[in-house]
Each structure stands twice: as C-alpha cells, then as structure tokens.
Amino acid sequence: MELITYPCLLVLSVSLPGILSQNICSQCDCTISDPDGGERAILNVKPRCEEGRVTWLNAYGAVRMELATSTAGDARFCIRVQSENVNTVVSQETVTKVPGNYRLKILDDVEVRLSPLFTTRGQGKEHCISASGPVHLYLETERSHDVGVARVNVHYDIEKTSRGLRYRPMEDCRPCSDAELLKAYCSSDFVAIGTIDDVNHDDEVSHIQVSVTKMVSQIEAVFQKPAAGWTRPHELKGVVHAPVRCGIRHGEGQFLFTGRVRLGRPMLQCAPRYEQWKSVLEMALNNELLECSYG
C-alpha cells in the first residue's frame, strides 16, 4: 500500500476539443461505458457511498471520479485499480482559482492541475490519499495492440480518520483483543471456522488458502464449494488476504477467520486459534457481552 500525500506536480488541461463530457453513475457500485462509435469521452462519476466499485467497459477515453465522505473531516481515500487489456494512468486533480487583473480586464479563472499518481496494468496495488475534503481522480487509458475488450475496475474505500470507528489490528500486525474478537464475530463481512491449507506471498499481500469446517456468516461468496469431484462436497474453500509484513505462516489446527471485503478483496481482521475463541466466547456468554446471536 502506498500513502500519497505529495503536492501537485503537473498542470494539464482536461477539456479537449471534440470530447464528450457525460455525468453518470451516482450509486455505490456502477458500470459505465464509453459511447459507441469510437469517440472519446470524459465520464464524470460521483459514487454516493464510502465503499464500492466502478466498472468501466470499453475503456477508451477518461473518467473523472469524485470521492467524498458523508460528513466533514479528515479521511483516508483508498483505491485499487484492476486494468485488463489496457494501461490505466491515474492522477489526482485539483482546481485552483487564478485571480484576474481588473486593470487589464482579465477575469478570474480556474486552473486544473493533475498530479500523476501511478500507471497500472493487471490486478494493481492499493493506493491511499489523506485529505480533509473530496478527492478528485482522473483516469485515462493508454491503448496498445492487445486483443480483447478494455476493462477497468476501480475499487474504492473511504475511511474517516478522526472517528476511529473501524479497527485494523491486522494492519498493525497484532492479535485482536477479546473485545475486538467479539466485535469482529458480530460485525465482520465473513466469519468462519476452518484450517489453513497454504499461505503464499507477493510484494504486499499474503494469500491464505482456507478450508472451512463451519460457515458462520458471509455477505459475499468468499468461501465456496470447490469444483465437482472434490472428495468433501460439503466443505467450503476460499482465499483471504493480509499484509505481507505481518509474516503470516501456515499453522496447524482450527482457527476462527473474520474479516472485511475491502477494495474487492476479503481482508483478514482477527484469526485466533479456535481454542482461544471458545474461551473468549464462553466468557462473553456468561457475562452477556455478546451483541449478536450465537449458533
């Protein structure tokens, strides 16, 4: 993950003659497409949620995306861009007021600045920007001679840094406290009991392959039945992720896996050994501390 806070570096114009400008997509998850006929367009996108995905089909022109919090305050704006059959250049856009000169009869104007952030192809990495107001991104594709439809997926996640409502023990590479375990059990996007089959690592993320022995809950199909022919037809399997710096390794025995689907990937939050979880759960049930049903 990269935390991007540097100032604007480049002044570019984004109003090109003959290019269509369309205001579309005000949902959490959107599918957008450049117009037919091969004419380049600037698609203006303003998702109304603090997390979601924008899918850009026939990606040929450009997308101007505004990300904003529901309330004022400092926030961390994170995106992950997946780019198929095309390179995607992502920049941060800022608009600066340029004062005029009334003696020379020059009116006030605005200047659009683009700060190049990164160019991506394939799965892409997580990039974050800290800001106290809306963040405006400008995405433009660079076509090559690839065969296939150009497709770009932009996963976004906005988190207020002042309210501290979300906890990220895995980002801190530390075990969850008992209170965090109970909260994770009741509020995570996925909760399962199972074993670790294998762990693979890339530059930033560890990929943990899990076999589920008991599925508690999941809002997306993180864990699914394997392909036909699997000798254990009732067992679910899936892959969850964690920062590679945490040094997660294969461990024997059963674990409680809890986490959140973030930027299109199921990210692990708390993963205690099952024996530890049973002890915490027994304490919570005896003291009526569990805020959800257990079963």
Res 12: pLDDT: 40
Res 202: pLDDT: 87
Confidence band (pLDDT; 50, 70, 90) for 106?
low
d(CA 164, CA 126): 21
Q: 51-57 and 151-160 as β-strands: parallel, antiparallel, unpaired?
A: antiparallel
Residues across the chain: 295
Res 113: pLDDT: 84
Res 3: pLDDT: 41
Confidence band (pLDDT; 50, 70, 90) for 19?
low
Confidence band (pLDDT; 50, 70, 90) for 147?
low
Average pLDDT over residues 261-277: 93
Exposure class string for 175-191: b at 16+ Cβ within 10 A, else e? ebebebbbbbbeebbbb
Flag whether pLDDT at 74 surpasses 70.
yes
Res 7: pLDDT: 35
Q: What is the pLDDT of residues 177-236, one digit of tens each?
A: 999 999 999 999 999 999 999 999 988 889 999 999 999 999 989 999 887 655 565 789
Res 2: pLDDT: 41
Q: What is the pLDDT of residues 111-139, one digit of tens each?
A: 778 889 999 988 888 999 988 889 999 99
- Single-letter residue type at 194: G
Number of DSSP helices (H) and strands (E) in the chain, helices first: 2, 17
State pTM to two decimals: 0.76
Q: Name the β-bridge partners of 86.
A: none
Q: CB neighbours of 185 closer than 8 A, spacing ≥ 6?
A: 191, 216, 256, 258, 281, 290, 292
Confidence band (pLDDT; 50, 70, 90) for 15?
very low
Place of tokens 């059959």: 85
Average pLDDT over residues 273-279: 95
Res 13: pLDDT: 38
Q: Name the β-bridge partners of 237.
A: 211, 224
d(CA 188, CA 261): 9
